[in-house]
A and B are shown apart, each in its own frame.
Chain A
């Protein structure tokens, strides 16, 4: 089945540690996205990538980093510089960034808790 996988589902981190969230898609989509979801605030865009080896900051990129070395993979690193990282993180992908008729497909999410 085609889709997006995120791992792990739950992640615990101590303050001061970096942590990497995995996102893989087998939909052959060009564009991939990372969102952060906090209660009552909807989705906020962290980073997005339209093609391999290229990515852009979203609205809340500070304290996060990404890479896009393969079309299928878009890992997100939450660094120690992120002041309040406890949240639900969602990865998404879509076909053809310039084709705005196409919807985004979402992964199941990773819940990160900082202890």
Chain B
């Protein structure tokens, strides 16, 4: 079956620190992979995506590389800001199938 496992939070970092949020997946076929961000009281927004192995998605300084050999899609950012404080969700979609989400990782960045 399909599933997404992501690193449990909460994660607290100082401003300008390096961020990694781990995400691994199990899927039938060759899925597309996504990272979404959710700010308090809001819906989810797409942060980045990758649709095939070795693709790198990037947006707003965040990056994630689709690693088929390790079934991973880890989210990274070189220097976090206070405004990056949010909950981050990893997700996948397999051909002919619906979306599967991880449980979310809460990030707090302190000045």
Q: Which residues of chain A are within 8 angstroms of B31 by Cβ–Cβ distance?
A: 100
A48 near B: Cβ within 8 Å?
A: yes
Which one of B18-26, B40-48, B63-71 is at the A interface? B40-48
Residue of B34, B45, B51, B93 with most chain A CB atoms under a 10 A cut-off: B93
B97 near A: Cβ within 8 Å?
A: yes
B61 near A: Cβ within 8 Å?
A: no
Q: Are A98 and B96 in contact (CB under 8 A)?
A: yes
Q: Which residues of chain B are within 8 angstroms of A19 by Cβ–Cβ distance?
A: none
Query: Looking at the complex, which one of A41, A92, A108 makes contact with B103 (CB distance below 8 Å)?
Result: A41
A109 near B: Cβ within 8 Å?
A: yes
Q: Are B42 and A100 in contact (CB under 8 A)?
A: no
A90 near B: Cβ within 8 Å?
A: yes
Q: Are A109 and B43 in contact (CB under 8 A)?
A: yes
B111 near A: Cβ within 8 Å?
A: no
B81 near A: Cβ within 8 Å?
A: no
Q: Please, which residue of chain A has its CB at the minimum distance from the CB of B93?
A: A100
Q: Which residues of chain A are within 8 angstroms of B34 by Cβ–Cβ distance?
A: 103
Query: Looking at the complex, which one of B36, B41, B43, B51 makes contact with A107 (CB distance below 8 Å)?
Result: B43
Q: Which residues of chain A are within 8 angstroms of B97 by Cβ–Cβ distance?
A: 100
Q: Which residues of chain B are within 8 angstroms of A90 by Cβ–Cβ distance?
A: 43-44
What separation, in Å, do the CA atoms of A33 and B98 have in the docked complex? 10
> Which residues of A28-55 are within 8 A (CB) of B?
33, 40-43, 45, 48
Residue of B31, B36, B99 with most chain A CB atoms under a 10 A cut-off: B99
What separation, in Å, do the CA atoms of A55 and B34 have in the docked complex? 24
What separation, in Å, do the CA atoms of A33 and B36 have in the docked complex? 16
Q: Which residues of chain B are within 8 angstroms of A43 by Cβ–Cβ distance?
A: 44, 89, 101
Which residues from chain B sit less than 8 Å from chain A, CB to CB? 31-32, 34, 36, 41-46, 49, 51, 89, 91, 93-99, 101-104
Q: Which 3 A-B pairs have the closest CB atoms?
A: A106-B43, A42-B103, A106-B44
